[in-house]
Amino acid sequence: MSENHEYAETLNGRNPLRLQSDCENCFGLCCVALPYAASSDFAIDKDAGQPCPNLQADFRCGVHTNLRQLGFRGCTVYDCFGAGQKVSHGTFGGHDWRQVPGSAKQMFEVFPIMRQLHELLWYLSEALTLQPARPIHGELSTALDDTERLTHLSAGSLMELDVAAHRSDVNVLLLRTSELVRAESLRKQKNPAGRKKTYGRGADLIGANLKGADLRGANLRGACLIAANLRGADLRVADLIGADFRDADLSGANLTDSIFLTQAQLNAAKGDGDTKLPPSLTRPMHWSTFRA
């Protein structure tokens, strides 16, 4: 068995590590395939398909340890859910875009599609661990298997895939999961109706002062929490799918049982050693230097 085939086989299992970025086994796809514009997140403009000037011959970043200081904060936030290594060693069998230049355009177009599929795998895998959602575990498991199957399609088939339609179908199940889990949480709380404020899907909470807020079981799907003060807030069992945490202060916040939180959301936020996280996620390196 070749090394590339052996690696691809490990991606087929239910190992959650396959849904985490593994830059050592990727051909620097996020550094080439994705565009970005000069802003507070990126120091320069870069077109899709254009290699970042910091990308080295071995596909590693030449300034990885100083990205934030050099104005590339966006690079430290991004997470591909393991799509990079899947495309590199699965879809394209370990043949990189430098070795086979003719594959470059297709590889770069497939990468964001795979990233969306892996994101769905992350959410579906989490949903299957949530006991209040047991009534729909069968449907969730089927959706997980279907999504996994799609990740093994050929590059050409992936480019023809209506990924938006698939996301829509999966989202129906994720919504039902959220409703079941949050309803169970609210039933266990004392006087949940006694809260002064409630927040809902897509809430505009830019810069909001939510210090110490009881947000247990809240529906914060797609909420805009940019620069919000969430110090000491209780976000257990809150649905955080798609919530924008850029520069939000999560110092001392409790996110241990929050629903559908991702590494990228944490990477975009600020926090400290007292921030409580789900065991599947890691504390961002820049949090150690954050001061309120």
**HSE (CB half, 13 Å, CA atoms) of 63?**
16
Q: Is residue 233 pLDDT above 90, yes or no?
A: yes
**What is the reported pTM?**
0.90
61, 190, 238 from 234: Cα distances, Å: 37, 15, 9
Spacing of C-alpha 177 from chain mean position: 18
Q: Is residue 6 pLDDT above 90, yes or no?
A: no
pLDDT range class, residue 192, cuts 50, 70, 90: low
Query: Residue 139 gets which letter from DSSP?
Result: H
Q: Is residue 262 pLDDT above 60, yes or no?
A: yes
Q: What whole-number percentage of the chain has pLDDT above 70?
A: 90
Per the structure block, which two tokens stand in for 163?
């990924």
Give me the mean pLDDT over the 20-40 stretch: 94
Q: Is residue 255 pLDDT above 70, yes or no?
A: yes
User: DSSP H helical segments within the chain, as ranges?
Assistant: 3-12, 73-77, 83-86, 104-127, 137-151, 155-160, 163-188, 263-268
Give me the mean pLDDT over the 56-63 stretch: 94
- As a whole number of angstroms, the distance between CA 3 and CA 201 comes to 45
Q: Is residue 235 pLDDT above 60, yes or no?
A: yes
For the segment 140-179, what is each residue's pLDDT rounded down to a tens digit? Answer: 999 999 999 999 999 999 999 999 999 999 999 999 999 9
Q: Determine the pLDDT at residue 288.
A: 72
Contact yes or no for 13/81 (Cβ under 8 A): no
pLDDT range class, residue 193, cuts 50, 70, 90: low
Give me the mean pLDDT over the 264-285 stretch: 95
The structure tokens 């969306």 sit at 116
The structure tokens 């000037």 sit at 53
Q: What whole-number percentage of the chain has pLDDT above 90?
A: 83
If phi > 0 it is left, if psi is from -120 to 50 it is alpha, else beta; for residue 248 that is beta
Q: Determine the pLDDT at residue 188.
A: 83
- As a whole number of angstroms, the distance between CA 42 and CA 258 comes to 30
pLDDT range class, residue 3, cuts 50, 70, 90: very low
3-state helix, strand, coil split of the chain in percent (to 5) is: 45, 5, 50
Residues contacting residue 19 through CB under 8 Å, at least 6 positions apart = 81, 82, 118, 121, 122, 125
Give me the mean pLDDT over the 210-224 stretch: 95
Give me the mean pLDDT over the 186-203 stretch: 70
**SS3 label, residue 259:** strand
For the segment 80-133, what is each residue's pLDDT rounded down to a tens digit? Answer: 999 999 999 999 999 999 999 999 999 999 999 999 999 999 999 999 999 999
Q: Determine the pLDDT at residue 194.
A: 52
